[in-house]
């Protein structure tokens, strides 16, 4: 197989993810899931770099950090990791209730979840913007709670919508699939265009968030995340009126 033959399907699938066919089973959902993946990178850049060694979206890290903290490793807080885990779980519960409430229409599921998530991230931005000290215990735990709730809602929603390889918060299985399903491994190379986009979206969010923090604008990642969420909420509102096949539950 020539390089051209190998690259063409990847580019075709990447284009179909960003500009999906309205008749596709997942309709307009894939690009919105990519936006939410960027939001994850932004929010986790803020939480890790500004709030200390804690994630509000990637819970595997917090489980590991809890083990580090128990041993007394410097820079890790057991209270912060447990607070993030609890907030994320509560957000996932809320997201699950939203999904079951609007289960008959995937567009409504997404819209209701985005309204909730946008409100939580905006509240976190307001707290961070007007707090005297971001590293004060009360401020830190308030931000962890708000952002953990938001990311839990997002993750539960992505799970309910079940767009393949666009979980918005977890990349371990995505990267595993990229390698294990590749033609080099003897696979068919399925979704070889979508999976790298998912990883790139989170990388872009983390990169932009880290640049903002290092340049002295620690609250900018939250503002950018809130703006992306607000725009996605407006797009999703239009989707609630659709009766296309993609709106049907899987």
Maximum Cα interatomic distance, the chain, rounded to a whole number of Å: 60
Does a structural domain hold residue 1? no
- Chain length of the chain: 250
Write down the pLDDT at residue 101: 93
Does a structural domain hold residue 3? no
Does a structural domain hold residue 96? yes
Does a structural domain hold residue 92? yes
The tens place of each residue's pLDDT in the chain, 250 residues long, gives 444 444 557 788 888 899 999 889 999 999 999 999 999 999 999 999 999 999 999 999 999 999 999 999 999 999 999 999 999 999 999 999 999 999 999 999 999 999 999 999 999 999 999 998 888 889 999 999 999 999 999 999 999 999 998 999 888 777 777 777 666 666 666 566 788 899 999 999 999 999 999 999 999 999 999 999 999 999 999 999 999 999 999 8
Write down the pLDDT at residue 3: 42
Does a structural domain hold residue 221? yes
Distance CA 105, CA 98 (A): 11
Write down the pLDDT at residue 171: 83
Distance of CA 60 to the CA centre of its chain: 14
Does a structural domain hold residue 25? no
If you ran DSSP here, which 8-state letter would residue 246 be given? G
Does a structural domain hold residue 74? yes
Task: List all residues 6 or more positions away from 28 whose beta carbon is below 8 Å from its beta carbon.
Answer: 20, 22, 235, 239, 246
Write down the pLDDT at residue 1: 44
* Backbone conformation region of residue 162, classed left if phi is above 0, alpha if psi is from -120 to 50, else beta: left
Distance CA 112, CA 102 (A): 8
Number of domains in the chain: 1
Write down the pLDDT at residue 172: 79
Write down the pLDDT at residue 11: 83
Does a structural domain hold residue 134? yes
Distance CA 12, CA 14 (A): 5
Write down the pLDDT at residue 190: 55
Domain residue limits at 79: 37-247
Write down the pLDDT at residue 182: 66
């Amino acid at each position: 197989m020539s390089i051209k033959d190998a690259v063409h399907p990847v580019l075709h699938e990447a284009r179909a993810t960003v500009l999906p066919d309205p008749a596709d089973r997942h309709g307009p959902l894939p690009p919105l899931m990519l936006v939410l993946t960027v939001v994850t990178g932004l929010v986790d850049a803020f939480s890790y770099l500004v709030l200390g060694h804690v994630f509000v979206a990637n819970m595997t890290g917090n489980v590991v950090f809890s083990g580090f903290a128990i041993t007394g490793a410097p820079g890790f807080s057991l209270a912060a990791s447990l607070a993030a885990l609890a907030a994320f779980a509560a957000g996932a519960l809320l997201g699950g209730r939203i999904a079951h409430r609007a289960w008959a229409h995937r567009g409504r599921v997404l819209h209701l979840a985005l309204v909730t998530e946008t409100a939580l991230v905006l509240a976190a931005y307001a707290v961070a913007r007007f707090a005297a000290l971001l590293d004060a215990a009360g401020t830190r735990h308030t931000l962890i709670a708000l952002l953990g709730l938001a990311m839990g809602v997002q993750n539960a929603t992505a799970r309910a919508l079940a767009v393949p390889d666009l979980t918005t918060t977890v990349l371990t299985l995505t990267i595993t699939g990229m390698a294990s399903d590749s033609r080099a491994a003897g696979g068919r190379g399925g979704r070889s265009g979508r999976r790298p986009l998912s990883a790139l979206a989170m990388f872009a969010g983390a990169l932009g968030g880290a640049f903002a923090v290092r340049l002295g604008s620690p609250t900018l990642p939250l503002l950018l995340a809130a703006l992306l969420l607000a725009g996605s909420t407006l797009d999703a509102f239009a989707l609630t009126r659709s009766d296309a096949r993609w709106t049907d539950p899987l």
